[in-house]
A and B are shown apart, each in its own frame.
Chain A
Amino acid sequence: MQIQINSGLLEAIVLNATEKEPVYGYKITQNILENISISESTLYPVLRRLEKNKNLTSYNKEYMGRNRKYYEITDSGRELLKEYKSAWIEYRKQIDNALSINEEEIENEQQ
C-alpha cells in the first residue's frame, strides 16, 4: 500500500532536488526516483508551477549540440523549501500521534 503525496510535498521534493546546484529535467526526475517512487507525469506540472511562481528560474545551456534547460532555485524558493521542511516536521509529529505510532514498538514487533 502506498500513501499519496500531495502537490505541496511534491513541490518541496522538487525544490530540494535543485537546492545544491542547477539541474535539468531528466536529472531531477532521476534524483527524486532514487529516493521515492512517484508518478513521473506529475513532475513537469510542478516544475512549471514553481517556475511561474518564481521559486525556480531556468536558463538554457548547450549540451552536445542540443539545448538543455537548467532549473535553478531562487531565494524565495529556498525560503519556501525551509517553510515546507518545518511544516513537514510538525505534520509528521501530528500523524505519528494520531496513529499512536511508536517506532521502537513497531521495530520490536517486526523482529
Chain B
Amino acid sequence: MNSSEYIKELEKELLDLSYEERKNAIDYYKEYFQDVPKEDEEEDIKRLGNPKELAENIKKEKSIFKNSSDDTIDESKNLNQKSKKNKAHNIALIVLLILTSIIWLPILISILIILLSVLLCVVVVILCIPICGIAALASSFYIMMYQPFSALFNLGVGIFLIGITIIGFIPLCKGIKSLILLIGSGVKKIYKKIF
C-alpha cells in the first residue's frame, strides 16, 4: 500500500466523523506523508498501523474532544440533568414546530423549489456544452461539401466544446461530491442542534 492508497482507506474509515474533523485528520496525514522521505514511506506506513487501527485511535479521541472536563463524575451528573431538561425543551420545540407549520411549511417548500430550479438551470446549461459540441461537429461534416469555411468553423467549435467537457468532467464530479458531503454534514448539524 502506498501513501495515497493509505489516505483513501483512512478517509473511508473516518466517514462517521464530522466533515471538519475528517478534513483536519486527512489534511494532517496528507501533509505528513509529503514530509516522509520516499525511501522511508513503506516503513512509516507500517509503523502507523493499518488505516482501520489509526481511525480507531482518532475516533477514541473524538469523545474526549466533546467533554474536556477533568471531573468525570461531576460531568456525568451534569449531563443527566441537562438531558432531562433538554427532553422537556425538545418536546415543547417540536409542538411549536408543528403548530407553526402552516406558516413556515409553504415558505420552506417554495424556497426548496426555487433552489431546485436554479440547480436544474445550472445542470441544463452544463449539459448543453457537450450536446452543442457534438451537434457542431456533426453539422460540420454535413455541410463540408457546400460551405467548407463554415464547416471548418463548426468543426473548431465542436472540438473546442468537447475538449471543455473532457477537461471539466473530473473537477465537476469532485465539486459535486464535496457539495453533497457539505450539504450532508450541514443537515446533520441542524438535526443535532434540534434533537
Contacts and interface: CB of A to CB of B under 8 A. Distances in A.
A88 B68 CA distance: 21
Interface string A45-79: 11111001100000000000011110000000000
A49 B65 CA distance: 6
Given A45-B61, A49-B64, A52-B65, A40 B48 contact: yes
Interface stretch (A24-32, A93-101, A102-110): A24-32
A7 B53 CA distance: 17
B60 to A, nearest CB: 7
Interface stretch (B23-31, B92-100, B162-170): B23-31
Size class of the contact patch on chain B? 20 to 34
Interface stretch (B32-40, B122-130, B132-140, B142-150): B32-40
Interface in B2-52: 24-25, 27-29, 31-32, 34-36, 44, 47-49
A42 interface: yes
Given A48-B24, A52-B65, A41 B48 contact: yes
Contacts, number: 56
B57 interface: yes
B54 interface: yes
Contacts of B24: 48
Contact of A45 (B31, B35, B58): B58
Chain B contact residues: helix, strand, loop or mixed: helix
A41 B57 CA distance: 7
A41 B47 CA distance: 8
Chain A, interface size: which category? 20 to 34
Nearest to A25: B32
Nearest to B53: A41
Contact of A44 (B25, B35, B68): B25
A26 B30 CA distance: 11
A69 B25 contact: no
B49 A26 contact: no
Interface of A: 24-27, 29, 39-42, 44-49, 52-53, 66-69
- Which 5 residue pairs are nearest across A and B when measured between Cβ atoms? A45-B61, A26-B35, A41-B54, A41-B57, A25-B32
20 contacts: A24-B31, A24-B35, A26-B35, A27-B35, A29-B32, A39-B47, A40-B44, A40-B48, A41-B48, A41-B54, A44-B57, A44-B58, A45-B57, A45-B60, A47-B28, A52-B68, A66-B31, A67-B31, A68-B31, A69-B27
